[in-house]
Structure 1
Amino acid sequence: MTWENAMNKERRGEECMYEDFKAMVNECDNIVFFGGAGVSTESGIPDFRSADTGIYSEKNNYEYPPEVILSHTFFMEHTEKFYEFYKSKMIYKDAKANNAHKALARLEEEGKLKAVVTQNVDGLHQMAGSKNVIELHGTIHKNYCLNCSEAFDLDYVLNSPEIVPKCNKCNGIIKPYVVLYEEPLDSYTIEEAVKYIKNAQMLIIGGTSLAVYPAAGLVQYYRGDKLVLINKSATPYDKNANLVINDSIGKVLGSLFED
């Protein structure tokens, strides 16, 4: 087989996968999307575990690894160092919603997508227009005082004159509404995610290695026969999927609305 024929065969195979995906979406009116960091990489936000660009793999000047810095214990014991890392590595205020976020918002607007279950904390799904977003790991856009529970937005944290933002009512330390290592996921949030996934006609999983638990375990609640995995690399659940597409999630989801 010539190189050109091999490329044509690969292209035809890709086209078939995209057509199958579009056909599955067209025949469903109860779709749930479950996504991870890979959904936002096309918006310029690095994921955690990619070999070359992940936050955990890049060289930095911190004396502790990211997994330690982003833990509850570290936040409580080294709050200033936590915020130095958090503000520089976890917040991308200028990031914009990409084609994946926009496609999901459009599916929801058309009544086909019932919920987005996300491991991301960046708020880009809401920026794109999605309404029913279940944020498993919280959000950078909400913050609260550990002392009096007063709520604060992201701008308040970023505009704080001190590295560690303090409450303007009681001077208590402000904590991001983000689930850190050693902290449990919110039980109500988990229950909502399970409800939508269990009742879904179609479950689309995208931009996640499905390696972080307990979030990854939610996939086991799906009972349907239209499980689609969209990820650039393989996942432990590929063998259970009805369709696996190893490609850009923005490209794949965006293709749903191409003429």
Structure 2
Amino acid sequence: MNNNIERLKELIDSHHNIVFFGGAGVSTESNIPDFRSASGLFNEKLNRNFTPEQLVSHTFFMRYPEEFFKFYKDKLIYEDANPNKAHIALAKLEDMGKLNAIITQNIDGLHQKAGSKNVLELHGSIHRNYCTKCGKFYDLEDMLNLGNIIPHCDVCGGIVKPDVVLYEEALDNGIVNETVNALSNADLLIIGGTSLVVYPAAGFIDYFDGNSIVLINKSTTSYDQKASLVINDSIGDVLSKAIL
């Protein structure tokens, strides 16, 4: 076991109110690509190039719903994805009574699939979908079975929108409050799989008032200098060695 892993293990052993803050890098090890890594996408129908961020914006959803759902279903839904070593290690840490919350920017639900219970999904989830007219709930399978490209409610015919936070939309106030509370009360913050450049999510880190921050990411981040420990490696490998 190398020195960084040994140091992480010591930090975990000596703290009892741990919060994990994770981004896309947690799920890339489950073969879910970070959609932001895609370049501009040309749409023949609209004769325009769009960034991935534009394609998952509220404006695009309202103006071009068919093009939105084509991109959404192709690039953001991975039904066959399974939890990786990072998800499993974090679920174990929660079982041990040390991890009090997972704050995630991901929408894939893999933390819950691994067994984690207290998961705060800043950007929502693909597994929850609601009719924009009557509010009927659809899980992922039911939404995908509504037929055609744009899912329409089988009760009122309204468009069924994923419960994900699109660009230009506000975060859920309840989740924001729980996130701030979890970070404010934590004594150890482990940040993994995120470059901390997506706001407002990355800004929540400033609410942490504990004494130790661990950063696990394959590349450097702007928060490296504030961390007690920085590990530039696979988050799945690191957490599984330190926890399992």
The residue identity in structure 2 corresponding to 1:230 is I
> Structure 1: where are the runs of 5+ without partners?
1-13
Alignment pair present for 1:170 and 2:167: no
Which SS does the other structure have where 1:239 is aligned? helix
- Return the alpha-carbon distance in structure 2 between the equivalents of residues 109 and 185 of structure 1: 28
1:48 aligns with 2:57: no
Q: Deviations over 1:171-219 (max 9, x none)?
A: 1110000000000111111110010011001000000010011100011
Alpha-carbon deviation of 1:28?
1.1
Aligned: 1:88 with 2:90? no
The aligned amino acid for 2:11 is M
Paired residue for 2:223? 237
Letter in 1 for 2:158: G
- Whole-Å separation in 2 of the counterparts to 1:110 and 1:121: 25
How far apart are 1:169 and its partner, in Å?
A: 0.9
The answer as to whether partners of 2:9 and 2:243 remain within 8 angstroms in 1 is no
The aligned counterpart of 2:125 is 139
Task: Name 1:19's counterpart in structure 2.
Answer: 6
Computed over aligned residues only, the root mean square deviation of the Cα atoms, in angstroms, reads 1.2
1:176 counterpart letter in structure 2: P
Tell me how far 1:159 sits from its aligned partner: 1.7
Q: 1:108 aligns with which of 94, 99, 107?
A: 94
TM-score by length of 2: 0.95
Is 2:187 the partner of 1:227? Answer: no
> How far off is 1:132 after superposition?
0.3
Q: How high is the sequence identity, in percent, across the aligned residues?
A: 57
Asked which structure has the greater CA Rg, the reply is: 1
Q: How many angstroms does 1:224 deviate by? A: 1.1
Q: CA deviation at 1:61?
A: 4.7
CA deviation map 1:24-66 (0-9, x unaligned): 00111110000000000000000134xxxx2x33x75534221
Which one-letter code corresponds to 2:118 in the other structure?
N
Instruction: Give the SS at the match of 2:162.
Output: strand
The normalised TM-score by structure 1 is: 0.90
Aligned residues: 239
Conservation of the 8 A alpha-carbon contact between 2:41 and 2:50: no
What CA distance in whole angstroms lies between the structure 2 residues aligned with 1:72 and 1:60?
18
Residues 87-123 of structure 1, C-alpha deviation per residue, up to 9 Å, x if partnerless?
Answer: 0000000000000000000000110000000000000
The answer for the alignment partner of 1:204 in structure 2 is: 190
How far, CA to CA, are the matches of 2:121 and 2:86 in structure 1? 17
1:181 aligns with 2:144: no
Q: Which amino acid aligns with 1:46?
A: P
Segments of 4+ in structure 1 off by > 3 A? 59-63
Distance 1:158 1:95 in 2: 16
The aligned counterpart of 1:33 is 20
Amino acid at match of 2:160: I
Of structures 1 and 2, the one scoring higher in RCO (CA 8 A, sep 6+) is 2
Secondary structure of the 1:40 match is helix
